[in-house]
């Protein structure tokens, strides 16, 4: 991560606080989608309130700094909104792998052609679920 964390806050109009910096730091050091509980655990020493984390995550999401990833779990997972990619998620151990190069833009065009109600598709999300090699062996 080359972009300075405090720069991300500044360019998005956030006041720089130690809590915001700490939360963003957790995101930039973990390349996998994470939830509020995970951040709370990582910031145990800093004693950050979980409610503050929830609020911060929502404001970061609204600013487009982070985006939701559908992990098909009860809690909401986020990751830094960076370059466009998707995930394969192991339903057994939760291992996450990213992949680029989806063909959904072409699919969207095809879908639009046959749609009676839509004239524009401007975003998509796609997560694949399966078993990793280790879990397949067990
Ligand atoms: Zn697995
Ligand atoms: Zn990702
Ligand atoms: Zn895509």
User: Which residues have beta carbons under 5 A from ligand 2 (an ion)?
Assistant: 79, 98
Cα three-residue angle 25-30-33, rounded to 5 degrees: 110
Residues 76 and 10 in one domain: yes
Residues 66 and 104 in one domain: no
Q: Give 59-114 pLDDT, tens digit per residue.
A: 999 999 999 999 999 899 999 998 889 999 999 999 999 999 888 889 999 999 99
Q: What is the pTM of this model?
A: 0.84
Question: Among all ligands shown, which has an atom nearest to the Cα of 98?
Answer: 2
Q: Is the pLDDT of residue 1 over 90?
A: no
97 CA distance to ligand 1 middle (Å): 11
Residue where a domain terminates, one of 58, 80, 102: 80
Show the domain range for 111.
86-137
2 CA distance to ligand 1 middle (Å): 30
Q: In whole angstroms, what is the distance from residue 133 CA to residue 33 CA?
A: 20
Whichever domain contains 64, its CATH number is 1.10.10.10
69 CA distance to ligand 2 middle (Å): 8
Residues 50 and 105 in one domain: no
User: Percent of the chain beyond pLDDT 70?
Assistant: 98
Give the number of domains in the chain. Answer: 2
Q: Give 31-55 pLDDT, tens digit per residue.
A: 789 999 999 999 999 999 999 999 9
Residue where a domain terminates, one of 80, 95, 122: 80
Question: Among all ligands shown, which has an atom nearest to the Cα of 107?
Answer: 3
Residues 76 and 92 in one domain: no
User: Which residues have beta carbons under 5 A from ligand 3 (an ion)?
Assistant: 102, 104
Residue 17: enclosing H or E segment and its boundaries? none
Q: Is the pLDDT of residue 2 over 50?
A: no
């Amino acid at each position: 991560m080359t972009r300075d964390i405090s720069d991300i806050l500044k360019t998005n109009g956030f006041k720089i606080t130690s809590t915001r910096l700490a939360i963003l730091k957790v995101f930039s050091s973990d390349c996998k989608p994470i939830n509020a509980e995970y951040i709370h655990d990582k910031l145990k020493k800093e004693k950050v309130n979980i409610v503050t984390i929830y609020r911060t995550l929502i404001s970061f999401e609204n600013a487009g700094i982070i985006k939701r990833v559908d992990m098909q779990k009860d809690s909401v997972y986020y990751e830094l909104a960076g370059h466009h990619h998707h995930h394969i998620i192991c339903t057994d151990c939760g291992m996450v792998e990213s992949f680029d190069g989806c063909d959904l833009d072409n699919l969207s065009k095809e879908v639009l052609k046959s749609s009676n109600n839509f004239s524009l598709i401007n975003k998509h999300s796609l997560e694949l679920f399966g078993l990793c090699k280790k879990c397949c062996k067990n």
